[in-house]
Amino acid sequence: MNDTDTTTSGSALASGRHPVNIGQLVMGLAFLGLVGIWALVEGGAVGDSEIRWLLPVPWVVAGVGGLLATTLAARRRTADED
C-alpha cells in the first residue's frame, strides 16, 4: 500500500485549502436559488405576477458569487507568489 495521496495532482496549496471550482460553485448557487423559488411558488408564498422578476435573481446571485470567487482566488494567488 502506498502512503502518498494519489487523488491530488501535486497542486495542493501550502495552506491546506482546497481550490474552488468556480463553475461548480456558480451552477450550485443557481440550482439552490431555483429550488428556493420553486419552493416559494409551490408553497403559495409567491403569486404568478412575482415570478417574472423573481426568476432572474438566482442567476444574478450565482454570477456575483462567481465574480467574487474569481477575484478572491486571483488575489490569493498573487499574494502567494509574492
Is there a domain that residue 67 lies in? yes
Is residue 66 within 8 A of residue 58, CB to CB? The reply is no
Is there a domain that residue 3 lies in? no
pLDDT for 72: 87
The string over 26-55, giving b where at least 16 C-beta atoms fall within 10 Å of a residue's C-beta and e elsewhere, is beebbeebeeebeeebeeeeeeeeeeeeee
Is there a domain that residue 17 lies in? no
Q: Which of 71, 60, 70, 72 is nearest to 29 (CA)?
A: 60
Q: 56: domain range?
A: 22-81
Domain tally, the chain: 1
pLDDT 10s per residue in the chain (82 long)? 455 544 545 555 566 777 778 899 999 999 999 999 999 999 999 988 888 899 999 999 999 999 998 998 888 777 766 6
Model-level pTM? 0.68
